[in-house]
Chains A and B, each alone.
Chain A
Amino acid sequence: DQQVKQNSPSLSVQEGRISILNCDYTNSMFDYFLWYKKYPAEGPTFLISISSIKDKNEDGRFTVFLNKSAKHLSLHIVPSQPGDSAVYFCAASAGGGGTSYGKLTFGQGTILTVHP
């Protein structure tokens, strides 16, 4: 049961343009969402997060949008740079304490390639 889905395995974008990475989830208990960037043979690097009480969070070139009714979030990167080329994972977490507290469920990842 894939509770967090990234349906696009890859995305190719021209340098300077906008990159939009999408993520869908099914578990309505998720209340915190994160985006990570990962290079091969390295650990993920935290990029940006958003709480379910918000619908937008911005940090520099990165903006995450959350549509709770659609159970959908997206990461916008503007402007895209060649150094942004990596695998991007969205992750979700459910609060409420108990054994699920703080556990992250990851999507399958989207390979972003930014061409010069």
Chain B
Amino acid sequence: GAVVSQHPSRVICKSGTSVKIECRSLDFQATTMFWYRQFPKQSLMLMATSNEGSKATYEQGVEKDKFLINHASLTLSTLTVTSAHPEDSSFYICSARRLLPFYEQYFGPGTRLTVT
């Protein structure tokens, strides 16, 4: 159990367009999902915490109007990168937290975004 999927796995888009990334918990309900970003050879940086049915909580320095997060159900959260620019190119990873044990997060396979 504890499988998390992400779609798409890779996306290339033109500068100025928007891209939506989906994160799904396949075999459990996740009241909380997290979105991370990883730069090459660096650690995972938490961008925002997504709670089902409420507004996402963004980390300091993350533009909420640029990275729109929607957690519409207990198994789905989406991250939309609006008006993407080349500096938004990165590896985006989501995770989902089970109810118990509540600290353990299970990660999706990640999405490689390239903005040209």
Tell me, in angstroms, the Cα distance from A45 to B44 when the chains sit together: 13
Q: State whether A45 touches B103 (Cβ < 8 A).
A: no
Beta-carbon contacts of B70-104 to A below 8 Å, as 1s and 0s?
00000000000000000000010111010001111
Contact partners of A36 in chain B: CB under 8 A:
107
CB closest residue in chain B, given A99:
B57
- A90, chain B: closest CB distance, angstroms: 10
Determine which of B49, B104, B109 lies in contact with A103 in the assembled complex, contact meaning CB atoms within 8 Å: B49
Q: State whether B32 touches A107 (Cβ < 8 A).
A: no
Tell me, in angstroms, the Cα distance from A92 to B74 when the chains sit together: 24
Q: Interface size (A, Cβ < 8 Å)? A: 22
Tell me, in angstroms, the Cα distance from A106 to B112 when the chains sit together: 20
Q: Interface size (B, Cβ < 8 Å)? A: 27
Q: State whether B43 touches A43 (Cβ < 8 A).
A: no
Instruction: Say whether, besides A102-B32, A103-B49, A43 and B105 are in contact (CB < 8 Å).
Output: no
Q: State whether A104 touches B105 (Cβ < 8 A).
A: yes
Tell me, in angstroms, the Cα distance from A102 to B109 when the chains sit together: 20
Tell me, in angstroms, the Cα distance from A89 to B93 when the chains sit together: 14
Contact partners of A107 in chain B: CB under 8 A:
43
Contact partners of B103 in chain A: CB under 8 A:
32, 34, 49, 93, 95, 102, 104
Determine which of A34, A41, A103, A106 lies in contact with B43 in the assembled complex, contact meaning CB atoms within 8 Å: A106
> Can you list 9 A-B pairs, Cβ within 8 angstroms, ordered by A?
A34-B104, A34-B105, A41-B91, A41-B112, A43-B4, A43-B110, A102-B49, A103-B49, A104-B103
A: residues with CB less than 8 A from B are 32, 34, 36, 41-46, 49, 89, 93, 95, 99, 102-109
Contacts A34-B104, A108-B42 supplied; 5 other A-B pairs, CB < 8 Å: A36-B107, A41-B91, A43-B93, A46-B107, A102-B103
